[in-house]
């Protein structure tokens, strides 16, 4: 009895794959580029988290210092009116410092998003161009 080949595609090797899909080799480079973009994005993310953590720590230290100084000043108040004036000034200063801190963090997070997404912008444009070029070339064959 004659032996029949049950594999209708023949021998599957990297060479036969490239012959069948000549544009596929370009996708290997895209994978490397995607990994590079991911690595750069992760580095930007870590730096942004460090910046945000440093800002939050500095802000917390500033608030504690403000509270301690206000407490000392308040302890030296001679009248209730003076104490209320000191307390009122503290509340205004603390509120302004809080809003300024939020604004600073918003800026850090906005920059973080831009920096984290930037590595993918160039990669995505390049990938789309390569895919279009490969698809057009494959259709022409």
Q: For residue 119, what are the contacts with CB-CB under 8 A and spacing of at least 6?
A: 36, 37, 38, 40, 41, 44
Q: Taking Cα atoms as reference points, which of 44, 52, 49, 26 lies closest to residue 121?
A: 44
> If you average pLDDT over residues 67-78, what whole number do you get?
96
Is pLDDT at 2 greater than 60 in this prediction?
A: no
State how far the Cα of 130 lies from the Cα of 138, in Å rounded to an integer: 12
Domain range list for the chain: 31-127
* pLDDT band at residue 37 using 50, 70 and 90 as cut-offs: confident
Is pLDDT at 132 greater than 60 in this prediction?
A: yes
**pTM above threshold 0.75:** no
Q: How far apart are the first and last CA of the chain?
A: 40
Percent of the chain with pLDDT over 70: 77
> In this predicted model, what pLDDT tens digit does every residue of 41-59 receive, in sequence order?
999 999 999 999 999 999 9
């Amino acid at each position: 009895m004659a032996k029949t080949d049950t594999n209708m595609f023949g021998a599957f090797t990297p060479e036969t794959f490239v012959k069948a899909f000549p544009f596929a080799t370009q996708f290997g480079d895209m994978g490397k580029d995607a990994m590079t973009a991911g690595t750069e994005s992760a580095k930007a993310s870590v730096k942004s988290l460090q910046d945000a953590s440093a800002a939050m720590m500095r802000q917390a230290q500033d608030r504690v210092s403000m509270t301690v100084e206000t407490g000392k000043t308040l302890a030296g108040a001679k009248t209730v009116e003076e104490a209320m004036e000191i307390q009122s000034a503290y509340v205004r200063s603390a509120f302004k410092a809080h809003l300024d801190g939020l604004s600073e963090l918003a800026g850090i997070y906005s920059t973080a998003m831009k920096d984290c997404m930037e590595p993918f912008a160039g990669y995505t444009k390049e990938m789309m161009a390569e895919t279009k070029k490969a698809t057009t070339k494959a259709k022409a064959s």
